[in-house]
């Protein structure tokens, strides 16, 4: 049992394939009547759990949320903050979907080491690290850096 769990934690081609399938399944739940642009995301946590998300749009357009952030917020609110990989799926033909800047920053919050899998409709994929997607991302450490004293007049 434990061995099976460990196996599923290794990013073998089989594990990646399953995660991509999950992202494409998540995409089917997309609520995107305004853009008609479906996106799905699937996170593999260090514990071996898969958590899915899809983009959720709103009649008040700016309130919609991307699939990546929905998946991350679901994971974190369920107590999972250590990610092994995050796969993304959309319907764009013959190209990788690169996550938007806001999602990259949210993804960065949970470590620079995990793999981001940009999948295509034929389930082929390209793998990138968080650091490649967002070099010099703003993080918790930046808030701890020494700062100048200031008052409201300068
Ligand atoms: N979208 C995502 O869900 N993820 C991305 O990486 C890029 C864009 C969504 C937001 C919106 O619902 C639709 O795709 C069109 O921008």
In order of their start, the domains of the chain are 13-143 (3.40.140.10)
Residues 40 and 27 sit within 8 Å (Cβ to Cβ)? yes
Structure confidence at residue 3 (pLDDT): 39
Question: Which residue has the CA at smallest separation from atom 10 of ligand 1?
Answer: 66
Report CA-CA distances (Å) from 55 to 13, 35, 52, 151, 153: 26, 10, 11, 42, 44
Strands 50-54 and 39-45: antiparallel
Among 66, 103, 106, 128, residue to substitute to test ligand 1 (most atoms within 8 Å of Cβ): 66
Q: What is the CA radius of gyration of the chain?
A: 17
Q: What is the pLDDT of residue 10?
A: 80
- Ligand 1 centre to CA of 6 (Å) is 33
Distance between Cα 143 and ligand 1 center (Å): 29
- State whether the beta carbon of 22 lies less than 6 angstroms from ligand 1: no
What is the pLDDT at residue 97?
Answer: 85
Within the chain, which residues score under 70 in pLDDT? 1-9
- Looking at residue 95, what is its pLDDT? 83
Q: What's the rounded Cα separation, in Å, for the pair 146 and 127?
A: 35
- Strand 115-119 to 125-129 pairing: antiparallel
Q: What pLDDT was estimated at residue 96?
A: 84
Q: Could you tell me the two tokens for 136?
A: 């010099």
Residue 51 beta carbon below 6 angstroms from any ligand 1 atom? no
Q: What is the pLDDT of residue 6?
A: 42
- How high is the pLDDT of residue 20? 97
Q: Give the mutation target among 55, 87, 102 for probing the ligand 1 site: most ligand atoms within 8 A of CB.
A: 55
Tell me if 68 CB under 6 Å of ligand 1. yes
């Amino acid at each position: 049992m434990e061995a099976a769990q460990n196996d599923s934690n290794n990013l073998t081609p089989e594990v990646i394939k399953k995660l991509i399938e999950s992202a494409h399944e998540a995409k089917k739940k997309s609520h995107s009547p305004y853009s008609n642009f479906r996106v799905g995301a699937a996170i593999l946590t260090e514990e071996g759990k898969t958590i899915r998300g899809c983009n959720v749009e709103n009649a008040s357009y700016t309130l919609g949320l991307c699939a990546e952030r929905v998946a991350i917020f679901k994971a974190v609110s369920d107590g999972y903050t250590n990610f092994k990989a995050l796969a993304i799926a959309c319907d764009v033909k013959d190209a990788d979907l690169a996550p938007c800047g806001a999602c990259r920053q949210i993804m960065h919050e949970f470590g620079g080491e995990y793999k981001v899998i940009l999948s295509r409709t034929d389930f082929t994929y390209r793998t990138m690290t968080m650091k490649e997607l967002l070099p010099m991302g703003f993080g918790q450490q930046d808030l701890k850096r020494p700062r100048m004293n200031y008052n409201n007049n300068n």
